[in-house]
Chains A and B, each alone.
Chain A
Amino acid sequence: MTVLAVSTDSHFTHKIWQKEELEKMVEGGVPFPMLSDANGSIGRAYGVYEEAAGVDIRGRFIIDPDFTIRAMEVLTPEVGRNVSELIRQVKAFQHVVKTGEVTPSGWQPGKPTLKPGFTLAGEVWKEWKPEMAFD
């Protein structure tokens, strides 16, 4: 999996942030590339550029190997992400692509999947219970 981080800061600023702060949080600094979207053009293309503030708000996109966007999550800046949920979604999409099965609400690796089709219509209640939506 390739992780790319993007903000409107220059790559020079990224260098100093890594050195001054991130290396104090993560040994050796963050391992993924930090990209510069200095004019906001990338953020505009992804619908996350906030014109008034001149920044890219907190948007996260999962792109599959065929270059199709599979998932997107966009938050205003005050609330941070849940990395476990990101990893769960990537694993679920990888499972779906590999098997053709579908993953019901709350699915985690190892939990039952569903095989969509005519015979399952109206019978999901036998396979999936609401409590399975929660961790």
Chain B
Amino acid sequence: MPEKEGCLTPVEGVIQEPEPQQKSETQPAENGGKRFMSARVGQPAPDFVANAFHQGQAKQIKLSDHKGEWIVLCFYPGDFTFV
């Protein structure tokens, strides 16, 4: 984390995979040149860096720092919701 945290703390977010070396001349890259990533079973997990709250502290967490462990990634619709 930066030493002084402001209202805006941008992080890297999703880490895009490097562009393929050979680009097709006829097919322009979709998504403004960024490779479209989507999660599928049997495929590598999309990597990212996110701001996080853990054990009373603010920190940044990079998913791939947990390579070598079994990871359960749980999305949920929001804090203070009901289910």
Partners in one complex: yes
Show the binding face of A for B, using Cβ within 8 Å: 1-18, 21, 31-39, 41-48, 50, 53, 55-72, 77-81, 86, 90, 93-94
A45 touches B40 (CB 8 A): no
Residues of chain A within 8 A (CB-CB) of B37 are 45
Asked if residues A78 and B39 are in contact (CB atoms below 8 Å), the reply is no
- Give the contacting residue for A34; candidates B13, B42, B48, B53; CB below 8 A: B53
> Which B residues, 22 to 76, have Cβ-Cβ distances below 8 Å to chain A?
37-46, 48, 50-56, 58-59, 61, 63-64, 66-76
Residue of A with least CB distance to B45:
A63
Give residues in B with beta carbon < 8 Å to A.
Answer: 13-14, 37-46, 48, 50-56, 58-59, 61, 63-64, 66-81, 83
B39 lies within 8 A of A34 (CB) = no
A-B contact count (CB 8 A): 174
Q: Is the CB of B51 within 8 A of A57?
A: no
B70 and A63 within 8 A (CB): yes
- Asked if B46 and A4 sit within 8 Å, CB to CB, the answer is no
